[in-house]
Every structure is written in C-alpha cells, then in structure tokens.
C-alpha cells in the first residue's frame, strides 16, 4: 500500500464532501458524516492539526474510498 498523504481534518472533510458525504451531527470533538448509502465516517476535529496516518486509513476504510482515489481528490 502506498504512503498516505498527511492531511488536516478540514482537508479530510472537503474530500468526504466531494464523495457525497454530508455532516450529520457532532459528538464532542468528533464530526460524523454520512452518505446516501448509509456509510458513516467519523472525523476528529482538533483545529488545524494533521491527522495521524492510521486515522486517515480508518476514515478511508469507513467511507469506502481507495487510497488512489483519495490522492486524486486532494
């Protein structure tokens, strides 16, 4: 698997919105996004800090986005 780019939470939100996800609710510092198919992705919102690569990988798995598609959307 190729290395994932380092992104902030704001950048991850913009990628999810391009994929058809919309903000559903927020629980503390976690924003929950859902799409029409019922997939759910949770993003930790901590200002402009960079997300850990394991968190990025988990979000992509939950949203059913391949790493190659993710790189194209950045």
Give me the mean pLDDT over the 63-67 stretch. 94
Tell me the pLDDT tens digit for each residue of 9-53: 999 999 999 999 999 999 999 999 999 999 999 999 988 889 999
Q: How far apart are CA 74 and CA 67, in angstroms?
A: 11
* pTM score of the predicted model: 0.90
Per-residue pLDDT band at 1 (split at 50, 70, 90)? low
pLDDT score for 74:
87
Whether residue 45 lies inside any domain: the answer is yes
| Count of the separate structural domains present in the chain | 1
Range of the domain at 54: 9-68
pLDDT score for 21:
97
CATH code for the domain in which residue 52 is found = 3.30.920.30
Whether residue 2 lies inside any domain: the answer is no
């Amino acid at each position: 698997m190729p290395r994932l780019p380092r992104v902030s939470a704001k950048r991850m939100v913009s990628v999810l919105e391009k994929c058809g996800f919309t903000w559903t609710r927020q629980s503390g510092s976690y924003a929950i996004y859902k799409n029409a198919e019922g997939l759910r992705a949770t993003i930790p919102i901590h200002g402009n800090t960079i997300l850990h690569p394991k968190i990025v990988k988990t979000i992509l798995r939950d949203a059913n986005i391949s790493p190659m598609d993710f790189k194209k959307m950045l």
